[in-house]
Amino acid sequence: MAIREIQTGLENPILRKRSEEVKEITPEIKRLIRDMYDTLHLDGIGLASPQVGENLRIVLVTTDPETKKAKTHTMINPVITFFSEETEISEEGCLSLPKFFANISRSREVIVQFKNEKWKTQIIKLNRLNARIVQHEIDHLDGILFADKAGK
Ligand SMILES: [Zn+2]
């Protein structure tokens, strides 16, 4: 188990930088992903690599959290290829902004394309809470925090 310290704060430069694409799976990338799992599973349903101090385009997303179907996906270089026009407003929080919660509008359905840990391309459609988590986490890779979208 290696739990990484969570980067926090609206002005934290690591959280505000655009993260770099991953070029290949190396032992360092594998270790980072393992550490991210250990860190996420303490508390949380999504985690982006900059939150543990690495500006790389990797996110973990737990779909259907707190159900029997719960599954954590490793998404490397994720890209949302479809955002539904239909949006939904719901409350969000973030491990990097402790004790801050706000209602945020997000697309109700998205299609996301990414590489998994075996470097295989995956394309999945997500909706509702699952779509929200992936949109929130991919924003982290572009230096965007959900607080930026509050009240919009
Ligand atoms: Zn977050």
Number of domains in the chain: 1
Task: Assign residue 29 the CATH number of its domain.
Answer: 3.90.45.10
Q: How far is CA 64 from CA 45, 54, 73, in A?
A: 9, 26, 11
Task: Give 119 Cα–ligand 1 centroid separation in angstroms.
Answer: 24
Asked whether residue 97 is domain-assigned, the answer is: yes
The answer to whether 146 and 104 are in contact (CB under 8 A) is yes
Which residues, at least 6 apart from 40, have a Cβ–Cβ distance to it below 8 Å?
46, 47, 60, 62, 72
What pLDDT sits at residue 117? Answer: 95
Asked whether residue 41 is domain-assigned, the answer is: yes
Asked whether residue 14 is domain-assigned, the answer is: no
pTM for the whole structure: 0.96
Task: Give 85 Cα–ligand 1 centroid separation in angstroms.
Answer: 23
The answer to whether 111 and 123 are in contact (CB under 8 A) is yes
- From the list 66, 35, 67, 139, the residue with the least C-alpha distance to 96 is 139
What pLDDT sits at residue 43? Answer: 80
What tokens were used for 129?
């809470």
Asked whether residue 10 is domain-assigned, the answer is: no
For every one of its 152 residues, what pLDDT tens digit does the chain have, with 9 covering 90 and above? 799 999 999 999 999 999 999 999 999 999 999 999 999 988 889 999 999 999 999 999 999 998 999 999 999 999 999 999 999 999 999 999 999 999 999 999 999 999 999 999 999 999 999 999 999 999 999 999 999 999 77
Task: Give 86 Cα–ligand 1 centroid separation in angstroms.
Answer: 22
Asked whether residue 82 is domain-assigned, the answer is: yes
Residue 35 structural domain: 25-149
24 is catalytic: no
